[in-house]
């Protein structure tokens, strides 16, 4: 097979042709600043508000609850840091406390580390061997000053989908703000912020066929989250800076397409993922699949191969035209075991051989069959040559 097989859609996705087409006029024709009062700028403003409405409908929110950002990392930082600041303002400067998990994206974990250095308390909820939060331990971890619960919707490495419904109900019961990093989930599985009692939600356009450098943060009405970036009055004075109009337009179009195609695409990709996983587990010895089998992103197949090094295997697969990840994209280059695999109890001899395959719109069964053969070859060669 001569063409590249891209199986790293959790890292990023191709910008869809329809998305690029929707963006083009706002790069070349309607390039006016949306904050201006003349009609030329108003074209940009209308395009932004249309995208806001599309995204709001997709999660069953109101348009005024959607705020555009530069991506998931900024949205996560804004949600955590300003929720803690809000608590301090409402409680006479008293420091708050956050509940999160040890398997979050580093945008959450490193924000928590910084907040801890500033005097905020952080507790990490236990997860089971599949990465699901142990719900019976949540209420026991609450403190008098707990102000925020932040649990990712779906894990970027092992694909496990968390019990968001139950966590949202618990947070509401104790009058806590509930935030979820939905960067991997949004555009791939249905989300209903009202029904799931989600107060804040982060997403990033390039994970569902949109452009890089743009995302959003949903903030439920009534949560007076302070501004994260100060300057002009953009985004209702909550997030200053001239808007990335083409990016926002592209994200809106990508969101529209993702939700139109979601049901059929989920079935198709799950079939391909299951085919890939079944053959790898049946045809390669000393391999285990990580993450939850039932509560899982449809496009995620993550494995640990005993006796090899995942990063070296990913490089060898690249020479065969196959793009996969040896861990989460943002931690590539680390020689330590994945923090996610550590948290779910995978021993180092297995965790060193982690490979993640994440499928997307362009993948085919023929590509899955080719990939299985090349994975078998690479694993066999590495074990036989002592390259593990």
pLDDT in tens, 106-141: 999 999 999 999 999 999 999 999 999 999 999 999
Of 224, 257, 290, the one marking the end of a domain is: 257
pLDDT of residue 368: 98
Residues 77 and 188 in one domain: yes
Residue 287 has phi, psi (to 5 degrees) of: -140, 145
Same domain for 247 and 309, yes or no, is no
For residue 387, pLDDT beyond 80: no
Q: Which of 257, 276, 294 is the last residue of a domain?
A: 257
Q: What is the pLDDT of residues 15-32, one digit of tens each?
A: 999 999 999 999 998 888
288: left (phi over 0), alpha (psi -120 to 50) or beta: beta
Q: Which pLDDT belongs to residue 3?
A: 82
Number of domains in the chain: 2
| Listed range (38-52, 151-165, 247-261) with the worst mean pLDDT | 38-52
CATH number at residue 284: 3.90.1150.10
C-alpha span between 94 and 112 (Å, rounded): 17
pLDDT given for residue 334 in this prediction: 52
Who has greater pLDDT, 204 or 331?
Answer: 204
Rounded Cα distance, 92 and 135, in Å: 31
Last residue of a domain, one of 222, 257, 292: 257
pLDDT of residue 169: 97
Residues 32, 131: one domain?
Answer: yes
pLDDT at 94 over 70: yes
Q: What is the per-residue pLDDT for 219?
A: 98
CATH code at position 85: 3.40.640.10
What domain range is 361 assigned to?
5-12+262-384
What is the pLDDT confidence band of residue 332, given thresholds at 50, 70 and 90?
low
State pLDDT tens for residues 198-244: 999 999 999 999 999 999 999 999 999 999 999 999 999 899 999 99
In residues, how long is the chain?
388
Catalytic-labelled residue, pool 112, 304, 323, 330: 330
Tell me the β-bridge partners of 68.
216
- Strand, helix or coil at 71? coil
User: How many whole angstroms separate alpha carbon 316 and alpha carbon 351?
Assistant: 18
Q: What is the DSSP letter of 225?
A: P
Percentage of the chain beyond pLDDT 90 is 90
CA distance 321 to 374: 10
Residue 1's pLDDT band (boundaries 50, 70, 90)?
A: low
Q: Given this model, what pLDDT does residue 32 score?
A: 86
- Say how many C-beta atoms besides its own lie within 10 A of residue 45's C-beta: 17
Residue 246 shares a structural domain with residue 313: no
Q: What is the pLDDT of residue 384?
A: 87
Q: Are residues 80 and 162 in the same domain?
A: yes
Same structural domain for residues 326 and 210?
Answer: no
Residues 96 and 207 in one domain: yes
Same domain as 269, residue 243 = no
Do 184 and 315 fall within a single domain? no
Q: Are residues 58 and 103 in the same domain?
A: yes
Query: How far apart are alpha carbons 379 and 8 in whole angstroms?
Result: 19
Q: Has residue 331 got a pLDDT over 70?
A: no
Q: Which pLDDT belongs to residue 38?
A: 83
Whether 330 is catalytic: yes
* Residues 194 and 302 grouped into a single domain: no
Mean pLDDT of the chain: 95
Q: If pLDDT is split at 50, 70 and 90, which confidence band does 386 have?
A: low
- Residue 241: how many other CB atoms lie within 10 Å: 14
Q: What is the mean pLDDT of residues 302-325?
A: 96
Please indicate, yes or no, whether residues 224 and 120 belong to a single structural domain of this protein. Answer: yes
| pLDDT for residue 330 is more than 70 | no
Taking residues 182-195, report their average pLDDT: 98
């Amino acid at each position: 097979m001569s063409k590249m097989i891209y199986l790293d859609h959790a890292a990023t996705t191709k910008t869809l042709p329809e998305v690029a087409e929707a963006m083009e006029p706002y790069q070349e024709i309607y390039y006016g600043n949306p904050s201006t009062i003349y009609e030329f700028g108003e074209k940009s403003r209308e395009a932004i508000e249309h995208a806001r409405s599309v995204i709001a409908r997709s999660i069953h929110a109101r348009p005024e609850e959607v705020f555009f950002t530069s991506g998931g990392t900024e949205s996560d930082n804004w949600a955590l840091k300003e929720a803690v600041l809000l608590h301090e303002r409402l409680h006479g400067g008293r420091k708050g406390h956050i509940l999160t998990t040890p398997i979050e994206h580093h945008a959450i974990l490193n924000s928590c580390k910084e907040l801890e250095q500033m005097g905020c308390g952080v507790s990490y909820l236990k997860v089971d061997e599949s990465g699901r939060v142990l719900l019976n331990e949540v209420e026991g971890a609450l403190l008098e000053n707990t102000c925020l619960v932040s649990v990712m919707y779906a894990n970027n490495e092992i694909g496990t989908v968390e019990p968001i419904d139950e966590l949202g109900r618990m947070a509401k019961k104790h009058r806590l703000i509930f935030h979820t990093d939905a960067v991997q989930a949004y555009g791939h599985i249905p989300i209903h912020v009202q029904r799931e009692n989600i107060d804040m939600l982060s997403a990033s356009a390039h994970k569902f066929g949109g452009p890089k450098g743009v995302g959003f943060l949903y903030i439920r009405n009534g949560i007076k989250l302070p501004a994260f970036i100060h300057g002009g009055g953009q985004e209702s004075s909550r997030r200053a800076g001239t808007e990335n109009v083409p990016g926002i337009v592209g994200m809106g179009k990508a969101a529209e397409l993702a939700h139109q195609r979601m049901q059929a695409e989920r079935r198709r990709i799950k079939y391909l993922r299951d085919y890939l996983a079944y053959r790898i587990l049946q045809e390669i010895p000393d391999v285990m699949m990580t993450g939850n089998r039932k509560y899982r992103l449809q496009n995620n197949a993550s494995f640990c191969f005993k006796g090899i090094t995942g990063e070296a295997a990913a490089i060898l697969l690249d020479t065969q035209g196959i793009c996969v990840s040896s861990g989460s994209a943002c931690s590539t280059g680390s020689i330590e075991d994945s923090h996610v695999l550590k948290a779910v109890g995978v021993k180092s001899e297995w965790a060193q051989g982690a490979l993640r395959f994440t499928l997307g719109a362009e993948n085919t069964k023929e590509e899955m069959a080719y990939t299985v053969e090349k994975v078998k070859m690479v694993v066999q060669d590495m074990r036989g040559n002592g390259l593990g």
